[in-house]
Amino acid sequence: MMPNNMKYSQYSSPTFGLDAAVLWRPEGNSYWQRFWNYPSFGVKAMYTRIPNAVAGDWFGLEGVIVNPFGGRWEWNWGVGFSFYTKPHGVTGDTNNIFIGSVVNCLIDLGIGYRLSDAATLSLRLLHTSNGMLRRPNLGLNYLQLDLGWKFNSNGSYRNDGSYVNDELEREREWSVALSGGAVMSRDSSMDGYYPCYDVSLYYQRYVNPVFAFGGAIDLWYNGSNREIIMSDESEYRLPLYLSGMGCVELFWGPISLKVGMGLVVAASCQVTIPIYERVGAYYNFGRNYLGVALNAHAGRIEFIEWTYGRRFF
């Protein structure tokens, strides 16, 4: 366990825990076999014991994707929630420097090597924090070495099942996404939660059924900047941002991961570093998709947005 700031490295501590996951591997087309070698989707539950009781023990629940590559190697990632038994830590700060809430977000990235069809050795990096929904909140990181064992396997990692049509269903598309969430101000003198909204217009081109690239125009409303604008401007304006970004999207069947980086073109208040990032996971059904994304400004999370989008051609 490592605090998300080297200044507090004295609170680092060894940890140990148990994970249990249920995974399934759907059949796909030959693009899946060629690029992803049939990823597995699933749900994982985790328990981690922290001996020195910084923030207490924690439980995790996440959706996970495990993707074989390069023979016996595989990589995996997951997003979900973590739950701390003692969220107000032992640092002497009543607001808690590390974790300020029972429920937190969880990001899990790892790489593994299959020792056999049943045993896997993995190295994982996990980050938990509440995205500044309660501050101060630096978050906690975990670097874990895992030895996993697969039970009740219904086959090896090679899958030679039947394929669906390989033809590319679409070469390009437009989509509109509507997002909403809650944010806390970066100004420590302001407390409480503020609404945030985002309307995005995307254009993407498909290289193949599992990879697309393109860009978006974003119009956001960040309610936490309302008081800042009112105090700094003689004439009040809505706390709006107009921005554009480039993005790539990777598909694993109905699941996709979209990563983008952009530039704020115009804003109602001063933006010191006009760079923003978005990383989101989405579930696609028909022309529609639902998802959750982290919207960050210059590497600092602004808000967590819940998204509904619809594709049109």
CATH of the domain at 206: 2.40.160.20
Task: Say whether both 144 and 44 belong to one domain.
Answer: yes
Mean pLDDT of 67-83: 87
Please tell me whether residues 6 and 53 are part of one structural domain: yes
Is 167 contained in some domain?
Answer: no
Q: Which residue, 98, 118, 149, sits at the end of a domain? A: 149
The answer to whether residues 236 and 290 belong to one domain is yes
Same-domain pairing of 144 and 219: no
124 and 216 share a domain? no
Q: The tokens of 128 are what?
A: 């938990």
Report the distance separating Cα 46 and Cα 212, nearest Å.
Answer: 33
Mean pLDDT (whole number) for 162-187: 72
Name the β-bridge partners of 161: none
Both 145 and 177 in one domain: the answer is no
Domain span at residue 294? 172-312
pLDDT value of position 161: 41
Residue 119 lies in a domain: yes
| Amino acid of residue 214 | G
pLDDT at 162: 39
Edge-to-edge strand ranges of the sheet holding 119-129: 2-3, 140-149, 119-129, 103-114, 73-84, 58-69, 40-49, 16-24
Whether residue 267 sits in one domain with residue 218: yes
Residue 302: the pLDDT is 74
Quick one: 12 and 133 in the same domain?
Answer: yes
Task: Answer whether residue 34 shows pLDDT above 60.
Answer: yes
For the cut 80, the answer to whether the pLDDT of residue 297 exceeds it is no
Spatial neighbors of 95 by CB under 8 A, at least 6 apart, are: 134, 135, 136
* Range with lowest mean pLDDT among 88-97, 173-182, 257-266: 88-97
Total domains present in the chain: 2
Give all strands (DSSP E) within the chain, no chain letters.
2-3, 16-24, 40-49, 58-69, 73-84, 103-114, 119-129, 140-149, 172-183, 194-208, 211-222, 240-252, 255-267, 275-285, 288-297, 300-312
Does 55 share its domain with 103?
yes
Q: Are 63 and 78 in contact (CB under 8 A)?
A: yes
Q: Is position 257 within any domain?
A: yes
Task: Decide: 103 and 96 in contact? Cβ < 8 Å.
Answer: no
The predicted pLDDT at position 164 comes to 41
Q: Is residue 108 part of a domain?
A: yes
143 and 210 part of one domain: no
- Answer yes or no: is pLDDT of 65 > 90: no
Radius of gyration of the chain measured on its C-alpha atoms: 21
Asked if 89 and 46 touch (Cβ cutoff 8 Å), the reply is no
Residue 40 lies in a domain: yes
Mean pLDDT of 291-300: 79
Please check the confidence at residue 258 and state whether its pLDDT lies above 90: yes
Computed over every residue of the chain, the mean pLDDT equals 81
The pair of structure tokens assigned to 48 is: 């981690």
What was the pLDDT predicted at 287? 87
50 closest CA partner among 59, 42, 39: 59
Q: Are residues 131 and 228 in the same domain?
A: no
Q: How confident is the model at residue 209 (pLDDT cuts 50, 70, 90)?
A: confident
Look at residue 166 and tell me if it is in a domain: no
